[in-house]
Amino acid sequence: MSADYDLDRAYRIESPADARRVYDDWAATYDDSFAHDWGYVAPRRIADIFLAEGGPAGGPVLDIGAGTGLMAEALPGLMIDGIDISPEMLARAAAKGLYRTRIEADLTAALPLADAAYGGFVSCGTFTHGHVGADCLPELLRVAAPGALFCCGTRPAVYDAMGFGSALALATARGQITPPRFFEIDIYEGASHDHAADTGLVMLFRKTS
């Protein structure tokens, strides 16, 4: 396992500026030192669920926290835009030709996107320790078209600690989304590092109107 990537450092991120700095530093080696060396399969697992549930309800997909494009690689043939806070990570994705559009933006702020622009949303590795919490949900729902499918990964402890449970419950009660369903997935495969047994929680729901 390469020492070029430190997951515990990622989990200690405390601000959007910190996230931009950390991921800009890792961009050049991220695919090799983390995705490959750590056996990172979570993007493929989330993509499989997204496709099994019917994929986007028309229109493009937004990859939330796109990074170097690992999720887009698992969704060939779909029209996908990638949004991320790190310009260096997006530059790596651009070199692969994975996204229709790449958007550098802070997910904790207002998004530079039109209302009802997307028919599907995927995310892996963004709703996690020290990263983005449930406060971004209203903006994501704003840019979602009616019927848009959300298939987003988190961690069980993060789901509790960063407010996803109450945010999704309120959105359901208000008729904004369908009752969410959940899937447990392996994050890593064939790995022997300290996080090899970690599992993820995938949140699946649709915008109702």
CA within 13 Å, CB half, 174: 11
Cβ atoms within 10 Å of 174's Cβ, excluding its own:
9
Q: Give the confidence band of 163 by pLDDT, cuts at 50, 70, 90.
A: very high
What are the tens digits of pLDDT across the range 194-209? 878 889 999 999 999 8
Distance CA 167, CA 189 (A): 31
What are the tens digits of pLDDT across the range 84-137? 999 999 999 999 998 999 999 999 899 999 999 999 999 998 887 555 789 999
Tally the residues of the chain. Answer: 209
User: Which of 207, 202, 205, 171 minimizes the C-alpha distance to 46?
Assistant: 202
Q: Give the confidence band of 34 by pLDDT, cuts at 50, 70, 90.
A: confident
Q: Is the pTM of this model over 0.75?
A: yes
